[in-house]
Amino acid sequence: MVHDTRWWLVSAAERQEVMTCMDSLESFQCRPARSLSDLRPVSNLSHDSFKRLDPGPSRWLNDECIDAYLSMMTQGISYECCLIQLIIQRGYEDVGMDRWQNKTVELFSRSVILLPINVDNAHWVAAAIYPQLKTVVYYDPLLVGVVKHPPSVIINVYDFLDAETSARGSGQLHLADWKTVVLAEAPHQVNGSDCGVYVLLGLVEMSRGFPWQGGADWKWGRPGDSSDLRLCIAHELLMGSLIAR
């Protein structure tokens, strides 16, 4: 018997629980906690935001839904990872990305710095900084195929990296020592509303190690997977933990 490696597929019972919580505010609010940590990710998640994961009428995920998943994700990733949420519109300083400069965190000792990025309040992308490899990885689920010129958002990521280097007294960032990898082979969305779904799952993948195959080995995200991916994220939020990959 061949084992099904599609970890994102929820069971019939799990799907029923998700849909019940989407259909009923009372069920969403009164579901039993499996553990103390179970309630944390959804404690600030409204029912309306949770329903944005409905696999039927696909809707874009708002900040509240994204934040809830990121909160849960930080409980399930290694200390070697650091997750920082950024908002990029016109540039690094224009929207206060410099607010992160927390010198108490040994940022560059981590194996990876994960960056979920909101672009112009209209689209979610992600970047991952691998300090030991001196590499910035960029993932935009709308990009397909070869990218000749790195998107302008990457410039802002390097601005962030440069500011963090200076804030920690490490001198100036030498860009010539760094390289950029754009994940053109990673799963991509086929509509205008799934960017948040793909970015969240992409961040989990990048937290597990450098994407040596450019995202081509990420098995989820094929055409038709969108509904299952939304159910998976909703189920993880209700459990308060990531499904084992």
Q: Across-strand partners of 27? A: none
Domain carrying residue 212:
13-239
Q: Is residue 3 part of a domain?
A: no
Q: Across-strand partners of 180? A: 136
Task: Give me the pLDDT at residue 186, please.
Answer: 92
Both structure tokens of 64: 């509240």
Task: Give me the pLDDT at residue 74, please.
Answer: 79
Residues of the chain with pLDDT under 70: 1-4, 31-43, 76, 78-79, 85-105, 144-150
Q: Is residue 8 part of a domain?
A: no
Domains in the chain, number:
1
Supply the CATH number for residue 108's domain.
3.40.395.10
State CA 77 to chain mean position distance: 12
Q: Which of 144, 101, 97, 135 is nearest to 116 (CA)?
A: 97
Q: Is residue 59 part of a domain?
A: yes
Task: Give me the pLDDT at residue 35, please.
Answer: 47
Q: Is residue 32 part of a domain?
A: yes
